[in-house]
Structure 1
Amino acid sequence: MTDGTASRRIAMPASGPDRDAGFLKDVLDGLGRPVKTLPAKHFYDQRGSRLFDRICELEEYYPTRTETAILTRHAGDIAERIGRGVTLLELGSGSSVKVRLLLDVLDQPAAYVPVDISGAHLEASAARLAADYPEIPVSPIHADYNQAFPLSVKGGPERTLAFFPGSTIGNFSPEEARAFLARLGRQLGPGSRLLIGVDLKKDVARLEAAYDDAAGVTAAFNLNLLERINRELDGTFDIAAFAHRAFYNGDLGRIEMHLESLRPQTALVAGVPFRFQAGETIHTEVSHKYTVEEFRSLGRDAGWLADETWTDGEPLFSIHLLTFQAPPSRFRRTSGA
């Protein structure tokens, strides 16, 4: 998530034995920009993952329960369309809760392959699932699914189903989403399937409440990113001097989350100083919302053709089953794909 402006040049400090070099680079690059940003993927350390699990249980946060209800209602139809012996690949598996609805009904799945950036959370979730489904091989992959990762699927592309729930695709800009989907299709191959959750456009008040709950759990989740920098990168952020902000940007069709500096201040990251003015923000996340046809069009541009779409009654949320063919030539070399 970048704004296209150049960051100031910062000498990269030594990562040290207890520092994640990639995390450090992302933080220094993002905070060095004229409009400060931090990549949303770094929310999900062990504490951040637990906080997100709590968010998913909140009354205001409709996406999880709505997507779960759609999956529960239509799991049998999905399984019938997928057929026997599929390898189920889950991107950003987290606690692997929703995938159980599929594993309960799929016909003799060949394997379950959860992929997640949070190693400890991944291993714990994979162990629980392997114990509950002893007949299904569980092969966790600790990786950033935004990057290519080694993958070998028994039965080939036509026996592969990627599962990408939670409307995580909304965290990409439409251009980034198109590039990501095209790259995923090329990695999985023609004939592979994708079952993906997509949040729909709706009343602004309902959208904003979902990302700024009354109990403050989402605020804690957002602020944990600064706490993680303090814990892991020798940061000196005064957490009480920042506030969670979330709002819907109608022009861009997206929720934006920010951390706002409440006063002029300076914070260090691995010894590197960053100054903040009162009211200045760090942009931490976007969540794009689509209509059903807008997302189908985006998928087609990336080479994914719509097989079926399921929604709830209002509708608040959608689940799409897509099949990969190939992206149109104008998208085959999209930057970052």
Structure 2
Amino acid sequence: MLRTDHHLTPDDLAKALRSDAAEGLTSRPKSLPPKWFYDERGSELFEEITRLAEYYPTRAERRILRERAGEIAAESGADTLVELGAGSGEKTRLLLDALSGAGTLNRFVPVDVSGDFLGEAAAAIGGAYPGLEVHAVVADFERHLHLLPSGGRRLVAVLGSTLGNQPPAERVSFLGDLHSGCTEGDTLLLGVDLVKDPARLVAAYDDPRGVTAEFNRNVLRVLNRELGAEFEPEGFDHVAAWDPDAEWVEMRLRSRTRRRVRVAALESTVEFAAGEEMRTEISAKFRRERIEAELGAAGFSLQEWWTDSAGDFAVLLARP
């Protein structure tokens, strides 16, 4: 059985993009949220990034889930998998297979901002798991956690180190909102990238083939298409840098020259100095004590901690 709840319309997304662009392009320093990377072309580029030799997180997380999915199913006892930032690939199915094998799986709740992508992914899962209730939710999980389906014993999965795209205060707020919607039987499954050699970290976000650079510049094409902006993407250099104090990798776009960019939907012109940088993503890296403290501040207790053999990545299970 397949049903879909819509808490976002294309007009909602358009308004959100205008709001984020208006705020980010006039701030100092300039910034844009990373969620706007993922139009159709951006999603294709990210899939290509995950196959690059330099980009280890996806492979490491998949390896942990392949080895530990049975333990996750047993520890959680979940009958419902809620996936924030839904996927349709191997990681999702590893969890579904484990819960099904444990004899508890009844329902899958994929959540994503893209209704088209979500519809395709939900239909594929429904076809692969006959009898599974698939309750898709078109929503921004940073805003609509209180609207997610409740009931049963839920395993809420936030994979792909998605949590690392938020600064600390926002992470704790997000985790707190998650906690507010949890019941005693729910569990939280997080995938987090770990602190390691900065050279390896930066290489994962600045590959020599330039795929990540193209992915980064694609956000300017999104602004051009959706907001009538007049960015010249090739006039911006991709920058990836490690911040040792914040312990995160920043991706930025650096203007090669002084320029004025008209943004029709905002009825404004944005000025860039030569060499001025606009931040497009942070990707925080974690130590166990740090994520455990943040979980604790939000009301969660860390129950299990699994890493790959190299210690590059961690998947953890927490309870409210």
TM-score by length of 2: 0.91
Show the counterpart of 2:304.
Answer: 308
For residue 61 of structure 1, report the CA deviation from its aligned partner.
Answer: 0.7
SS in structure 2 of the partner of residue 145 of structure 1: coil
SS in structure 1 of the partner of residue 240 of structure 2: strand
Show the counterpart of 1:281.
Answer: 277
Structure in which a larger fraction of residues adopt helix: 2
CA separation in 1, counterparts of 2:16 and 2:65?
A: 35
Show the counterpart of 1:93.
Answer: 86
For residue 153 of structure 1, report the CA deviation from its aligned partner.
Answer: 2.5
* AA aligned opposite 1:267: V
Show the counterpart of 2:209.
Answer: 215
Deviations 1:164-188 (A, max 9, x none): 1111111111221111101111022
Deviations 1:113-159 (A, max 9, x none): 1111222222222222221112211121111100124222232xxx0
Query: Which structure 2 residue ranges, 5 or more long, are not aligned?
Result: 1-9
CA contact (8 A) 1:51 1:217 kept: yes
* AA aligned opposite 2:96: L
Show the counterpart of 1:328.
Answer: none
By relative contact order (CA 8 Å, sep 6+), the higher-ranking structure is 2
CA separation in 1, counterparts of 2:260 and 2:122?
A: 41
What is the aligned-residue identity percentage? 43
SS in structure 1 of the partner of residue 52 of structure 2: coil
Show the counterpart of 1:247.
Answer: 241
Count of residues in Structure 1 that have an aligned counterpart in Structure 2:
305
For residue 315 of structure 1, report the CA deviation from its aligned partner.
Answer: 0.6
Pick aligned residue for 1:59 from 53, 60, 65: 53
CA contact (8 A) 1:185 1:192 kept: no
How do residues 192-271 of structure 1 correspond to structure 2 at under 5 angstroms?
A: 192-270=186-264, 271=267
SS in structure 1 of the partner of residue 155 of structure 2: strand
TM-score by length of 1: 0.87
Change (3 A) 1:129 1:18: closer
CA contact (8 A) 1:49 1:94 kept: no
Change (3 A) 1:172 1:268: same
CA separation in 1, counterparts of 2:25 and 2:200?
A: 31
For residue 280 of structure 1, report the CA deviation from its aligned partner.
Answer: 0.3
For residue 46 of structure 1, report the CA deviation from its aligned partner.
Answer: 2.0
CA separation in 2, counterparts of 1:127 and 1:46?
A: 19
Show the counterpart of 1:175.
Answer: 169
Change (3 A) 1:47 1:119: farther
Query: Which structure 1 residue ranges, 5 or more long, are not aligned?
Result: 1-15, 325-337
CA contact (8 A) 2:88 2:124 kept: no
